Structure 1
Amino acid sequence: MHHHGYLWTGSKQRFDDEALRRPPHPDPPPADKPELFARYKEVKAEFPTVDLPPLETAHWLIKPATLVRGTWEEPKEAAEWLGQRLAECAPRFACETDRDSTRLALLVHSAAERLGWGGDVSHGFYLERPAFLSVALVTCSPNRAAPDLACPAVRI
């Protein structure tokens, strides 16, 4: 078991495009609804490659390996990476409460515990402008929530 780190920062408007943040339904809509069918084809083609954070954390594993920002065998090391990313971005957090160093330390501690039993970690923060930060740690080989998903590092 190991853990992959993912980081995304972008406009809130782009983040809010939920259709591109979920895998398409296995069954396409009827062909007699051209607008729906066209959108389905777009999502089917783009979801696996778009850098947007997926709605389900485990679905990061579907994304290209180039989006992996780090890989760790030990939960503590992965959680430390999370802590470093949060500390770097904290001055830009839109909510003052989110900047609290004690709160951030608790998130890091909680992340190490969750990764230790094979869970995933995902946090999101609104930043100034309005922008959004998504940071995730995904347990791999296997993932508890989606054990059938292959490790993206194998596909490199």
Structure 2
Amino acid sequence: MHHHGYLWTGPKQRFDDEALRRPPHPDPPPADGKPELIQRHREVKAEFPVVDLPPLETAYWLIKPEKLVRGTWEEPKEAAQWLGERLAEYAPRFASESDRDSTRLALLVNSAAEQLGWGGDVSHGFYLERPSFLSVALVTCSPNRAMPDLACPTTGHLTRGSAQR
């Protein structure tokens, strides 16, 4: 078991495009259905796996391109440390003063280490200044507890303790 880190920042309006943040329905609309529904299903089916937007269900990060992985760790504490570093980096930009509280952020990091330790995923989101949004996630891989059939995005090569900003 190992853990992958993901980070996304961008306009809140783009984050709110939920159609691209959820997988397409497994059954396409009927062939004689409304053309706009058929077209939208095709678009979502093509775009969901490759778009950089955070998925609504954290485990679906695993089907996204490998280039979106910001770090990979075997140890939950190392992955949680990366989370803590990202939270500290972005905290000055958090729109809510209570989100900037260092005690609260430390609790999030400690909780993340615990969740990852039993195979859970971690996902947090914060409003930033200028209606932007930060999404940061840690996803357990090989297997993922919520979706064990999802393949690891790093095609089997684990880089110990590696991380990008």
TM-score range with shorter-chain normalisation? over 0.9
Question: Are 2:114 and 1:113 aligned?
Answer: yes
Task: Give SS of 1:84's match.
Answer: helix
- Residue in 2 aligned with 1:14? 14
The answer on whether the counterparts of 1:58 and 1:146 sit within 8 Å (CA) in structure 2 is: yes
The root-mean-square deviation of aligned C-alpha atoms, in Å, is: 1.0
Query: What TM-score, normalized to structure 2?
Result: 0.93
Deviations 1:75-127 (A, max 9, x none): 00000000000000000000000000000000000000000000000000000
Task: Give SS of 1:61's match.
Answer: helix
- Residue in 1 aligned with 2:144? 143
Deviations 1:11-51 (A, max 9, x none): 00000000000110111012331000100000000000000
- Residue in 2 aligned with 1:128? 129
Question: What is the alpha-carbon distance in structure 2 between the residues aligned to residue 49 and residue 131 of structure 1?
Answer: 21
CA positional deviation for 1:155: 7.4
The answer on whether the counterparts of 1:5 and 1:135 sit within 8 Å (CA) in structure 2 is: yes
* Aligned pairs for 1:20-59 within 5 A: 20-32=20-32, 33-59=34-60
Alpha carbons of 1:22 and 1:112: their partners in 2 closer, same or farther (altered >3 Å)? same
> After TM superposition, which residue ranges in structure 1, 4 or more long, deviate above 3 angstroms?
none
Question: Are 2:98 and 1:97 aligned?
Answer: yes
The answer on whether the counterparts of 1:65 and 1:155 sit within 8 Å (CA) in structure 2 is: no
Alpha carbons of 1:155 and 1:18: their partners in 2 closer, same or farther (altered >3 Å)? farther
The answer on whether the counterparts of 1:10 and 1:132 sit within 8 Å (CA) in structure 2 is: yes
Aligned residue pairs total 156
Query: What TM-score, normalized to structure 1?
Result: 0.98
Gaps of 5+ in 1: none
* More helix, by proportion: 1
